[in-house]
A and B are shown apart, each in its own frame.
Chain A
Amino acid sequence: MKTGIFSVRLGEKAHRVTITAGGEARVDDGAPLLVSAEGEHTVIVREGDKTRRVVVSAAGERRQVFVDGEIYDVTVGAEIAGRRRAGRADSDHLAAPMPARVTAVLVEAGQHVRKGDVLIKLEAMKMELAVRAPRDGAVKRVACRVGELVQPGVGLLDLE
């Protein structure tokens, strides 16, 4: 199950979904929900007394979701990926743009970096991708390891 802050787009509208390590989720500013994974497709979502079994089929960024006879087609991405929100300095949380494998982590927490420095190397579709620092700053947290398979939108590294 994933944790972090996500942008889930349904049609024209993008919703912000936050999920903590404890399985607490919030959609936009809604009531807290508890989420847990069951098997490969099912996510149990609890709100107060109500439990829903939600079935998810994934393909890349797209998710097709079934809940109580309703079906939704959504895309899930990083909440603050630079290319999605023009005009905002979305440089605090860096994420992979596509499913990829981490081949090198070149920095550690506390280290100061300059804009353009290569922080993490990824491999996807036989290409090497470099995740570069979008600005000067200090590495707050490295959230991935060499060899790990990462999904788009999942945080790799946070800058202060």
Chain B
Amino acid sequence: MIRRLLVANRGEIAVRVIRACRELGVETVAVYSEADRGALHARLADIAVPIGPAPAIDSYLRVERLIDAASTSRADAVHPGYGFLAENAGFAQACEDAGLIFVGPPAPVIATMGSKIESRARALEAGLPIVPGEAPEAQDDAALCAAAERVGFPLLVKASAGGGGKGMRVAHARKDLAEAFAAARHEATGAFGDATLYLERLLRKPSHVEVQVFGDAHGNVFHLFERDCSTQRRHQKVIEESPAPWLSDALRRRMSEAAVALARHIGYRNAGTIEFLVEGRGDDAHFYFLEMNTRLQVEHPITEAVAGVDLVHAQLRVASGEPLPWRQASLAQRGHAIECRIYAEDPSTDFLPQAGPLTVYLEPQGPGIRVDSGVVEGDEVSIYYDPLLAKLVASAETREMARERMLAALRRFVVLGIKTNIPFLIRVLEHPRFVEAAIDTSFLDREGHGLCEQSAGPGLEAALAAAAAHDGRPAARAAESPAVADPWDRLQGWRSGRN
């Protein structure tokens, strides 16, 4: 087993990995920027190394500083978490070159699957259906029209060089093409200086379904079933659940097997997720490969809940050279789990990220409730990083029970001092489309606006009375006595007796 692990990340995922290490007897090294001095993840680790000023570009994204930190703290392995450098092949390679074990797949695999063109080619080779599309060499209108016929309608005319929704136009039929090409070219030139176009079929109200895969260095590749992540706002996931409630057993089996086939084909190792778009329901449902994420995902806890596994433990075992302790035939999904991402964002101002002190922060607890967070009451939330404060996971025997359990938990998740999306999450979970499990990836963007505004609820009178009755003293900072109940979390610099 790895002896000492450096976690090249922050916030809730760093806390998650550090806790898993403690369970396995692995020593931990945290890194922190100036804005994260005193942050929970830095306090929980055995050793904490400062790595620079607040902006990520000057700290968490500095490859050489991270390698140095590993060297000075005598770590033998590095876990990249998610985001930051987790899918940066250069970082994985730098770790390997420095003699550090990188907890993830080999660098060349990260590079291959990080390329849209390469990953789609590998998926085709492995027999997966891919979202129909073409990047024609010849860019004149005639050639593009011919490509469009092959791709099929409706389609998206996209800027090859692009992203962020720029340089994209929808064409519903052949007659729309000329104008779509002209408009997309114009916007693409303006935004990216490159008018090269790419055509991709526009799926009708697709769902986003991803499959968790895992490989080890002994030739074993497993799948741990799927997650439905269709509740997204501007391509950012908000709520995830497992199993995908409307997925037929046949489709689940085909998608899981396809995911394993691809992972095997590319020689995948450690944790990964293959993302699909699914169009239609029941017998008319079709799935298409979208992309692969060569890392642990934010929403991994819902797979842990329904499959009864610990994915971070598994990551550490694989990185240590051990075989995975599973048999595909004995892995199963049981019950239902839902995850809500708690963001420091204000729904009523178009989800503007919030910064400020967490004057009150009280996590819900109870059967079937799990909270993964990187903050405690009294912490100062800054604007330098992703505004994810915590993940709230509710699991139960059925989807409806999990949904009710989640609502009750959200109603007692008290966060004050900054605004969060908690009131918005409650409204989404109560929405009839969510209750019916009829969410597609465009649902929130279409109907979310109505769920953002705060209207007076049944607790208004009590709120007004309490506001007047309260003595007006500001909350004392809880930095010395964190709201975390675990006494082990308060020990600092405590070693397990090893050198």
- A contacts, CB < 8 Å to B: 1-2, 6, 8, 10, 15, 17, 19, 23, 25, 27, 30, 33, 35, 37, 40-41, 43, 45, 47, 52, 54-59, 63-72, 74, 76, 99, 151
Contacts and interface: CB of A to CB of B under 8 A. Distances in A.
A64 B459 CA distance: 14
Contact of A55 (B410, B414, B458): B414
Given A1-B471, A40-B475, A45 B360 contact: no
Interface residues of B, number: 38
B164 interface: no
A47 B462 contact: yes
Contact of B462 (A41, A45, A76): A45
Contact of A151 (B413, B457, B463, B472): B472
Nearest to B420: A71
Contact of B460 (A25, A57, A70): A70
A43 B360 CA distance: 14
Contact of A17 (B413, B457, B468): B468
Given A2-B472, A35-B469, A66 B414 contact: yes
Contacts of B360: 41, 55, 57, 66
A38 B426 CA distance: 26
A65 B469 contact: no
A147 to B, nearest CB: 17
B461 to A, nearest CB: 5
Given A40-B475, A69-B423, A63 B460 contact: no
A17 B461 CA distance: 10
B468 A6 contact: yes
Contacts, number: 140
B423 A2 contact: no
A47 B458 CA distance: 12
A68 B464 contact: no
Contacts of B476: 40
B416 A33 contact: no
A1 B459 contact: no
Contacts of B412: 69
B332 to A, nearest CB: 34
Given A59-B474, A64-B416, A43 B469 contact: yes
Interface string B438-466: 00000000000000001011111111111
B359 A57 contact: yes
Contacts of B463: 54, 65, 67, 70, 72, 74
Nearest to B410: A69
Contacts of B133: none
B351 to A, nearest CB: 15
Nearest to A51: B462
A55 B362 contact: yes
A68 B467 contact: no
Contact of B454 (A30, A54, A71): A71
Interface string B103-119: 00000000000000000
A70 B423 contact: yes
Contacts of B152: none
B417 interface: yes
A71 B464 contact: no
Given A43-B466, A55-B360, A57-B359, A69 B426 contact: yes
B185 interface: no
B61 interface: no
Contacts of A30: 461
B498 interface: no
A57 B469 contact: no
B465 A19 contact: yes
The 8 A-B residue pairs with the shortest CB-CB distance, nearest first, are A67-B459, A43-B466, A69-B411, A54-B466, A57-B416, A45-B462, A17-B468, A6-B468
